[in-house]
Chains A and B, each alone.
Chain A
């Protein structure tokens, strides 16, 4: 059997295969869109509540505990969290824009769409927001942890040691893992760019 015959057979088999039907009415789609919007609202709201909770907790520490380093650390964390909350707002705005883009994705070919999705994910792991997320939280947590170690004797100072441990060891690990991930995305983007710029190169 020749390659052409074989593929014609496969075409037939593919297009005539028995399959379960799937129907969804526009009314149901209206409901689905509303449900999706509610889901997004709850997801966004949860992040806001968590940020607010963290701010309140560190504000309480700022007022209640006497140790100056802990107070200073708490103030830095509050500022950092406030910045993060702003970032969450910007991110939500960007997600909404992304949803609008998705609505018009019939105007965007697959290559461009895939590239923009990969770029978005790369930026999450490597972009300026990633670095600023770390930069605003690390100093505050470090100062807060050192303050807690100085204030409480062992084993009560375990919380302080944990905070310092997370800041010193886990943050660099997170940076390394995120950069590794972003490099993988960059490789995929480069491959797509090669495809876009010199389409016959790989043929």
Chain B
């Protein structure tokens, strides 16, 4: 049953309270440009608020929020791809080192901010679906829930996650000693 306006506002505020910071991270991962990122974040919030008009609690709030946000971001990336013609690659291509030139690999020692910059850079090169998988993985969402958000089978998500772990370990383990902070 569609929500009335106050329920819509309440659901939106609840979603932002729980997932607001995640939305900021997602926006940065989907858009490198600062100004365009602000627009994307605004689009995500608007889409989320509008979506709650039809929220029927058939799926978890988290699944709903991630779906709406990622779909808004996907539209954004497809629009900018038309303008900028950006080549996007898959996790598999990155794993085979085909997608990223060797000179873009991170140097052995990096501080946390640099690691994050490199991580965002890596994510922004991925095609929309693989980008969603890696982002949800980093947000701590399990394979089954990633499958629910993306529509990819959880088995295949697990395979992708295995590849992501291997890529991340390969690229960031030397500079990833941030647990010593």
Neighbouring B residues of A102 by C-beta, 8 Å: 47, 50, 71-72, 75
| Chain A, Cβ-Cβ closest to B138 | A14
- Specify which chain B residues have a CB less than 8 angstroms from the CB of A128 in the assembled complex: none
The proximity string for A residues 26-47 relative to B, scoring 1 for CB distances below 8 Å and 0 otherwise, is 1001001100100000000000
Cβ B20 vs Cβ A22 within 8 A:
yes
Q: Is the CB of B46 within 8 A of A103?
A: no
Which residues from chain A contact B151 at a C-beta distance below 8 Å? 109-112, 196
Interface string of A2-39 (1 = CB under 8 A from B): 11101101111111010111111010010011001000
CB–CB B168/A6 < 8 A: yes
Q: Is the CB of A105 within 8 A of B47?
A: yes
Interface flag for A150 (CB, 8 Å): no
Q: How far is the CA of A14 from the CA of B21 in the complex (A)?
A: 11
Complex: how many Å from CA A32 to CA B43?
9
Whether the Cβ atoms of B140 and A3 lie closer than 8 Å is: no
- Residues of chain B lying within 8 A (CB to CB) of residue A195: 129, 152, 156
Kindly state whether residue B49 has any CB partner on chain A within 8 Å.
yes
Contact with A along B113-156 (1 / 0, CB 8 A): 00110010000000011001000001110000000111111011
Chain B contributes a number of interface residues (CB within 8 A of A) equal to 69
Cross-chain pair count, CB within 8 angstroms: 168
B53: chain A residues at CB < 8 Å are 103
Q: Are A203 and B176 in contact (CB under 8 A)?
A: no
Q: In the assembled complex, which residues on chain A have CB atoms less than 8 Å from the CB atom of B16?
A: 23
What's the nearest-Cβ distance from chain A to residue B16, in Å? 7
A2-B75 contact given A13-B116, A111-B150, CB 8 Å threshold = no
* B103 smallest CB distance to A (angstroms): 22
The answer to whether A106 and B67 have CB atoms under 8 Å apart is: yes
Given A23-B16, A110-B128, A114-B74, are A3 and B177 also a contact pair (CB < 8 Å)?
Answer: no
Interface on A for B, CB 8 Å cutoff? 1-4, 6-7, 9-15, 17, 19-24, 26, 29, 32-33, 36, 102-114, 117-118, 121, 192, 195-196, 199-200, 202-203
7 more A-B residue pairs beyond the given contacts A103-B53, A195-B129, with a C-beta to C-beta distance below 8 A: A3-B169, A19-B21, A24-B45, A105-B51, A106-B64, A199-B153, A202-B159
* 8 sampled A-B residue pairs with Cβ under 8 A: A9-B177, A22-B41, A102-B72, A102-B75, A103-B47, A105-B68, A106-B64, A114-B74
